[in-house]
Amino acid sequence: MGTSAPKPHSLGLFGGTFDPIHLGHLRLALELKQQLALDEMRLMPCYIPPHRASPSVDAQQRLTMLQLALKECPQLHWDARELQREKPSYTYDTLRELRTELGEEVSLSWCMGMDSFVALDTWHRWQELIELAHLVVVARPGWELPAQGPVADLIVQHRADAEAIRSASAGKLVILEQRLLPISATEIRAHIKAGASPQFLVPDAVWSYIRAQGLYRS
């Protein structure tokens, strides 16, 4: 596993399909690590995303691309636990497992885009997530915070500044306005399928791997 020893005091987790990993993901993960002053930041590819269609390449190929991307960036790590589990990767299960592994003291932050956050109340045991970790939500263009309903109530109860995640191990909801690179994996897959190059949207090593394996062509 691409994780560092010893135990971090604060750990950020950034989940996604990473199909493929691109510079938008990498840049955001690095900015979050820096802005939240995290000791460690892990990118965590999901096996079968419960809210999304199945990825177009297999899990091992997505992991290999992530590993290739992170070779150039020692500040970021990967965590493949959700790929190793042969069932849907519920965030609740992942956070519970990490809590058991790391103990109660470590500050855990689950980072997600606003597009995921607005549907949080459809996630398995969603109300317990904030007991296991902080939730860090990154605003994405075109998405607004819910003004009413259960997710809006969660915001009212738990919203805090970014600094708060260092003073508690879980329980804070941080909403960040982050500049995002205008890159999407959907667009990259479409480029490749159309015979175009995604160079400068993905790390060079990832593009070489995609070509060598013939990924996303059909």
Q: Can you read off the two tokens belonging to residue 94?
A: 């992942």
Cβ nearer to ligand ATP, comparing 35 with 103: 35
C-alpha to C-alpha distances, 138 to 18, 115, 144, nearest whole angstrom: 17, 9, 11
Residue 176 binds ligand ATP (CB under 6 A):
no
Q: Please, which contacts does 147-155 make with residues 24 or more away whose CB atoms are closer than 8 Å? A: 149/121, 150/121, 151/117, 151/118, 151/120, 151/121, 154/120, 154/127, 154/130
Residue 24 binds ligand ATP (CB under 6 A):
yes
Nearest approach, Cβ of residue 5 and ligand ATP (Å)? 26
Binding characters for ligand ATP, 186-215, by CB under 6 A (x = yes): x-----------------------------
Residue 30 binds ligand ATP (CB under 6 A):
no
Nearest approach, Cβ of residue 138 and ligand ATP (Å)? 7
Cβ nearer to ligand ATP, comparing 5 with 155: 155
Residue 59 binds ligand ATP (CB under 6 A):
no
Residue 94 binds ligand ATP (CB under 6 A):
no
Nearest approach, Cβ of residue 143 and ligand ATP (Å)? 9
Q: Can you read off the two tokens belonging to residue 216?
A: 């996303």
Residue 180 binds ligand ATP (CB under 6 A):
yes
Residue 202 has what DSSP assignment?
Answer: B
Residue 185 binds ligand ATP (CB under 6 A):
yes
Residue 115 binds ligand ATP (CB under 6 A):
yes
Q: What is the dihedral of CA 99, 103, 106, 112, to 10 degrees?
A: 0
Q: Can you read off the two tokens belonging to residue 142?
A: 């075109």
Nearest approach, Cβ of residue 14 and ligand ATP (Å)? 7
Q: How far is the C-alpha of 206 from the C-alpha of 57, rounded, in Å?
A: 14
Nearest approach, Cβ of residue 81 and ligand ATP (Å)? 16
Residue 17 binds ligand ATP (CB under 6 A):
yes
User: Cβ-count burial of 148 within 10 angstroms (0-12 exposed, 13-18 middle, 19+ buried)?
Assistant: exposed
Residue 118 binds ligand ATP (CB under 6 A):
no
Rounded (5°) CA angle 190-194-197: 80
Among 184, 197, 208, 213, binds ligand ATP (CB under 6 A): 184
Partnered with residue 112 across adjacent β-strands are 137
Instruction: Identify the residue whose tokens are 């490749």.
Output: 192
Q: Can you read off the two tokens belonging to residue 53?
A: 């269609």
| Binding residues for ligand ATP (CB under 6 A) | 16-19, 24-25, 28, 112-113, 115-116, 140, 180-181, 183-186
